[in-house]
Amino acid sequence: MTADTLADRWRAVRARVDAACRTAGRDPAEVAILPVSKTHPPTAIEQALSLGLHRFGENRVQEIRDKAAALPGCDIAWVVIGHLQTNKAKYVAQLASEVQSLDRMDLAEALQHRLEIEDRVLDVLVQVKTSPEPSKFGLPPEKLIAFLTALRDFPRLQVRGLMTMAIQSDDAQAVRSCFRDLRRLRDQAQEQGFELPRLSMGMSGDFELAIAEGSTEVRIGTAIFGARQAL
């Protein structure tokens, strides 16, 4: 049977996440789902809102601006998950509730500055590069502790944890080792006094492996909203 409405797909994803938690001996309440609405129109977000969803992951700041304008009065928490240019910090400070792709100092500086102007604070996750693919963004793992230490001087950025994208591969062990690396990095950082409860890892194609390695949040686009639309 194919699940072909948004409500069906949402329920099917939640059931798969819950099953993966049970297989891993984890409480399903420990793993949140971030619906990734990038490329999908405001009408898809309206449908998701009617299912009780209200946090949405987006890659492009301009798309958040357009969608926020198309959905006035909706109580939406926009989560930036894509590579972020420093010159977009102003709009992020105005519109986003969270950034999961913080990966460098000049971006932290720009966000801190713009958040002061807006008198806001932002939850952030540090994106770490766990995959050798050159196309992937993220902080090199060996720089994590120094970066977390430096972020202590940016009080408008509330660091909650780490994010990664695994290697794109059919080799489940290679994918899983990216997730394991992120969890170990988090554990090491926590031993050094950094509080990092959240691990955002896992997408439509690999979230079961991420949950087995300790993910607290899976970012799901295709499995909820269907194939991405051309922009």
Residues at the interface with ligand PLP (CB under 6 A)? 36, 38, 59, 81-82, 165, 203-205, 219-223
- Stated as kind and residue range, the H or E segment containing 188 is helix 172-191
Q: How far is the CB of 58 from ligand PLP (least distance, A)?
A: 9
Helix, strand, coil distribution of the chain in percent, nearest 5: 45, 20, 35
The residue (of 154 and 207) whose beta carbon lies closer to ligand PLP is: 207
Q: How far is the CB of 204 from ligand PLP (least distance, A)?
A: 3
Q: How far is the CB of 113 from ligand PLP (least distance, A)?
A: 25
Residues 45 and 68: their CA atoms lie apart, in Å, by 10
The residue (of 6 and 36) whose beta carbon lies closer to ligand PLP is: 36
Where b means 16+ CB within 10 Å and e means fewer, 151-166 reads beebebbebbbbbbbb
Q: How far is the CB of 220 from ligand PLP (least distance, A)?
A: 5
3-state secondary structure of 182: helix
What is the layout of strands, in order, in the sheet containing 96-102? 32-35, 217-220, 198-200, 157-163, 122-127, 96-102, 77-80, 55-58
The residue (of 149 and 222) whose beta carbon lies closer to ligand PLP is: 222
- Cβ(182)–Cβ(165) below 8 Å: no
Q: How far is the CB of 200 from ligand PLP (least distance, A)?
A: 8
Where b means 16+ CB within 10 Å and e means fewer, 62-81 reads ebbbebbeeeeeeebebbbb
Q: How far is the CB of 195 from ligand PLP (least distance, A)?
A: 23
Residue number of the CB closest to ligand PLP reads 221
3-state secondary structure of 93: helix
The residue (of 19 and 117) whose beta carbon lies closer to ligand PLP is: 19
The residue (of 139 and 220) whose beta carbon lies closer to ligand PLP is: 220
The residue (of 141 and 205) whose beta carbon lies closer to ligand PLP is: 205
